[in-house]
Amino acid sequence: MGARHASGGRHVQAGRRAAGDLRGRGRAAARRRRHHLLSHRRALEPHLVRAHLPARLPRGAQLRWLVDRVGQLGRTADREGPPAVSAGPAALAALAAEFRDLDRRERAELLIEWADRFTEVPPEVATRPFPEAHHVQRCESEAYVWAVDRPDGTLDLHFAVENPQGLSAKAWAAILAETCAGRPPAEIAAIDGDVVFAIFGRDLSMGKGQGLLGMLDLVSRAARQRLVARDAGGPHQ
């Protein structure tokens, strides 16, 4: 208690900070702020500002697939671009190389041009309702895939995209249809999934990436079925 007040004779609390009445409290708080915490003139609670933030967050494979290099406009000496593509039809590899050198705006413009070139599966191949066996699973654009044999043993690819807003699926369908037309099944079966990221970039959403890869999976499966049937000496399934 503080000293007796002259007028009323009552004891009152001395006018000092409460922290000083707790043994070692002020010194301990000062040590914590000095060694572990960083005050900032704009912080309402300076002791809540961390001084030692990590340089970067650890990235797992899935996180890296989703956000790695998002927003980057092109390749530089310290920035990895989309993967190079060599397997599969030469026309597809050449197109992927062209996309690698584009920034995001140029890439989007070229993909829109490809989407405008999309042609739906002709009625002599398939009509609605389309068979579920040709339906691309996990595809937001509700895409369907068909492979049609040519007399010389090569293939033609046809697609349907039921979502009118599925521009990426339409662009990818047009690219596959044109670059794989008249190519042997062995070339088509050799297409690697990296081509999707080479053409569409690393900033694909998970849903869109799964759909585009799903379209390629059905194309590759159809080509492999031809190869297996040919090796067995029978018709494809």
Report the percentage of the chain scoring pLDDT > 70: 62
Q: Tell me: do 104 and 154 sit in the same domain.
A: yes
Q: One-letter amino acid identity for 163?
A: N
**What's the confidence (pLDDT) of residue 233?**
79
Tell me what the pLDDT averaged over the chain comes to: 78
75 lies in some domain: no
Residue 40 shares a structural domain with residue 125: no
Q: Is residue 165 part of a domain?
A: yes
Do 127 and 203 belong together in one domain? yes
* Residues 124 and 170 grouped into a single domain: yes
Specify the pTM.
0.66
Q: Is the pLDDT score of 110 beyond 80?
A: yes
Note whether residue 197 is domain-resident.
yes
Locate 127 and state its tokens. Answer: 């009509």
131 assigned to some structural domain: yes
User: Residue 38 pLDDT > 60, yes or no?
Assistant: no
| 57 within some domain | no
- Same domain? 107 vs 43: no
What is the model's pLDDT at position 13? Answer: 53
Instruction: Return the CATH number at 209.
Output: 3.90.1010.10
User: Are residue 92 and residue 44 in the same domain, yes or no?
Assistant: no
Do 168 and 213 lie in one domain? The reply is: yes
Asked, for residue 181, whether it belongs to a domain, the answer is yes
How many domains is the chain partitioned into structurally? 2
> Domain for residue 128, yes or no?
yes
| Residue 63 falls inside a structural domain | no
Residues 112 and 191 in one domain: yes
Q: What is the pLDDT of residues 44-62, one digit of tens each?
A: 444 444 444 444 434 433 3
Please check whether residues 143 and 197 belong to one and the same domain. Answer: yes
Q: Which domain range does residue 39 map to? A: 22-48
Residues 37, 106 within the same domain: no
- Residues in contact with 5: Cβ distance below 8 Å, sequence separation at least 6, in sequence order: 11, 12
* Same domain, yes or no: 103 and 157: yes
Q: Which residue has the higher pLDDT, 32 or 219?
A: 219
The alpha carbons of the chain give a radius of gyration, in whole angstroms, of 32
- Contact between 133 and 94 under an 8 Å Cβ cutoff? The reply is no
* Residues 6+ away with beta carbon under 8 Å from 65: 206, 209
Kindly state whether residues 214 and 166 are assigned to the same domain.
Answer: yes
Report residue 128's pLDDT band, with 50, 70 and 90 as the boundaries.
very high
Percentage of residues of the chain with pLDDT beyond 90: 59
